[in-house]
Amino acid sequence: MIPIDDSPIVRDGKSLILAMDHGLEHGPVDFEAVPEKLDPSTVFETATHDAVTSIAVQKGIAEGYYPSYEDDVNLLVKLNGTSNMWMGEPDSAINCSVDYAAEIGADAVGFTVYSGSNHEVEMYEEFRRVQEKAREYDLPVVMWSYPRGQGLKNDTKPSTISYATRIALEIGADIAKVKYPGSADAMEHACKAAGDMKVVMSGGSKTSDYDFCSTVESAVTAGASGLAVGRNVWQRENPTQILDALEEVIYEEATADAALEATE
């Protein structure tokens, strides 16, 4: 972990990462209810909102669309990723090098690690290479820290999420992105396990405005430094409205009720 508060992907110590790598991870099915969002520029447009500190995309999307938005959004290049068609033990192909991410303008890099998978050892070694190379460019490293694999029945269990944040701290991430462990107490323990490293909550599938904002409120109150979210923003009819509310919850530490009331 290195200090990243001066990085463009951090605002007042917090971070809101807008993720849009779902076309690879899940397939176009995630865009079925919002077919216009299949056009990546619509999500880049959303990422120009002040609440968003970076957009997380795969290399191909970065190459094609970031040049038109480089003055208005910060780029987080996701370096690995796998399709939903992969049926083996959780693993993730490296699709982009740190050198190339830096060349195309990345402000940060992202890497998934599936601790607990039969591929854990190789993934840790890959992460080591990525993390050390990222240091040469002074690029923050965000770890999608997702314990997953045949040995793990419940990947959001409190002890599993605390382990996920601790692993991220110990092997050199600057931000750990983890799933919400189900309660504020469990999130607090996961944040404590991460020491001074930032922890952001992973968005998950779309829920109601209130349910989503109140989970984010509970994560932030428990010590999380923000959010990495995809579907709960861009699958909505009005992404700006939810981002207005999330801005209040994350940066102003407003309650979900107050934030939604102020922004409806």
| Contact residue for ligand FBP among 15, 115, 165, 202 (CB under 6 A) | 202
| Contact residue for ligand FBP among 11, 14, 22, 166 (CB under 6 A) | 22
Return all residues near 231 (Cβ < 8 A) that are at least 6 apart: 22, 30, 203, 204, 205, 206
- Give catalytic status of residue 137 as yes or no: no
The catalytically annotated residue of 37, 59, 78, 177 is: 177
Cα–Cα distance for residue pair 160/15, rounded to 1 Å: 23
Which lies closer to ligand FBP via its Cβ, residue 182 or residue 258? 182
**For 198-207, b where at least 16 C-beta lie within 10 A, e where not — what string?**
bbbbbbeebe
Q: Which residue is nearest to ligand FBP (CB)?
A: 203
Which lies closer to ligand FBP via its Cβ, residue 132 or residue 209? 209
114 binds ligand FBP per the rule CB under 6 A: no
230 binds ligand FBP per the rule CB under 6 A: yes
19 binds ligand FBP per the rule CB under 6 A: yes
Judged by DSSP in three states, 175 sits in: strand
Query: Of 100, 90, 95, which is closest to residue 111 (Cα–Cα)?
Result: 95
231 binds ligand FBP per the rule CB under 6 A: yes
31 binds ligand FBP per the rule CB under 6 A: no
How many CB atoms are located within 10 Å of the residue 182 CB?
A: 14
- Give catalytic status of residue 177 as yes or no: yes
